């Protein structure tokens, strides 16, 4: 049995809209091991993105415990979570969130300014990350000079550059055409299989979910089933 990277134990998440109580997650238990690739699936409003955000430290639980790399994150302050995310989590979103006035190189370099690294070390990491995603020849291009698929590759390089403990992806192909989407799924699968990156991906696409070794289904805030080694 491999080392635990994510341990979700008895997690509840509730929101309040005025006097209206909205239960989103209801007693979730989930364990993700080093090198696992999980797809979180479920209908709109099932809680899958909320669960991903809790695991990634973008939100806090109402009740329960979440450990990432055996470190409890549910009792951290906002400042502690921000620093923790910069060192442990690589984010891949549906929208690429690139800064248009920065080159691909500069966009990928951004997370490294939160680390105590010199210019040469930053450059080496950025170059390596862009080469891994197949954009070694596009480092000086601005987002407007890239296709949607290439922009998503830049965002994946940005997620990789800090060598995070965990990659989290929220509908990473949702804004792409079919061909570009398949290429991005191929890349994420390569990062998992060849670079042993632990990945948790939210998707509504069954074909995308088939790439993962584990599929987890949420319905009305509850884990209703899990199929492993698809």
Q: Is this structure's pTM higher than 0.85?
A: yes
Q: How high is the pLDDT of residue 2?
A: 74
* Residue 23 included in any domain: no
User: How far is the C-alpha of 46 from the C-alpha of 110, rounded, in Å?
Assistant: 33
Q: Which residues pair with 8 in a beta bridge?
A: 30, 66
* Residue 3 included in any domain: no
* Residue 89 included in any domain: yes
- The stretch 31-41 carries a mean pLDDT of 96
Q: Does 170 or 115 have the greater pLDDT score?
A: 170
Q: How high is the pLDDT of residue 116?
A: 83
Query: For residue 21, what pLDDT band results from cuts at 50, 70 and 90?
Result: confident
Q: How high is the pLDDT of residue 228?
A: 46
Residue 147 has pLDDT above 90, yes or no: yes
Q: How high is the pLDDT of residue 226?
A: 59
CATH no. for residue 182? 3.40.50.300
Query: For residue 230, what pLDDT band results from cuts at 50, 70 and 90?
Result: very low
* Residue 164 domain boundaries: 35-48+78-228
Task: Kindly state the tokens that stand for 179.
Answer: 């061909």
Number of domains in the chain: 1
The sign one gets for the Cα dihedral 164, 167, 168, 173 is positive
**Under DSSP, is residue 203 helix (H, G, I), strand (E, B) or coil?**
coil
* Residue 150 included in any domain: yes
* Residue 60 included in any domain: no
pLDDT in tens, 94-127: 888 899 999 999 999 999 988 888 999 999 999 9
- The stretch 148-177 carries a mean pLDDT of 95
Per-residue burial over 99-130, b = 16 or more CB atoms within 10 Å of its CB, e = otherwise: eeeebbbebbbebbeeeeeeeeebeebbbebb
State the Rg of the chain over Cα. 18
- The stretch 190-202 carries a mean pLDDT of 96
């Amino acid at each position: 049995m491999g080392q635990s990277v994510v341990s979700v134990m008895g997690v509840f998440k509730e929101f309040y809209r005025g006097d209206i109580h909205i239960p989103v997650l209801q007693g979730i238990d989930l364990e993700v091991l080093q090198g696992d690739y999980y797809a979180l699936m479920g209908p709109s409003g099932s809680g899958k993105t909320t669960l991903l955000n809790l695991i990634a430290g973008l939100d806090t639980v109402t009740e329960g415990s979440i450990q990432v790399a055996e470190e409890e994150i549910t009792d951290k302050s906002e400042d502690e979570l921000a620093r923790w995310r910069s060192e442990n989590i690589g984010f891949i979103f549906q929208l690429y969130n690139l800064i248009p006035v920065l080159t691909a190189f500069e966009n990928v370099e951004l997370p490294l300014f939160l680390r105590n690294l010199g210019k040469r070390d930053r450059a080496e990491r950025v170059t390596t990350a862009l080469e891994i995603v197949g954009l070694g020849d596009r480092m000086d291009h601005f987002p407007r000079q890239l296709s949607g698929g290439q922009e998503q590759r830049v965002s994946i390089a940005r997620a990789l550059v800090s060598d995070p403990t965990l990659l989290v992806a929220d509908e990473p192909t949702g804004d792409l055409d079919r061909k570009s989407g398949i290429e991005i799924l191929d890349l994420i699968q390569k990062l998992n299989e060849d670079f042993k990156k632990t990945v948790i991906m939210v998707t509504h696409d069954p074909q995308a979910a088939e790439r993962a070794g584990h599929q987890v289904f949420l319905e009305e805030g509850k884990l209703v089933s899990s199929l492993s080694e698809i």
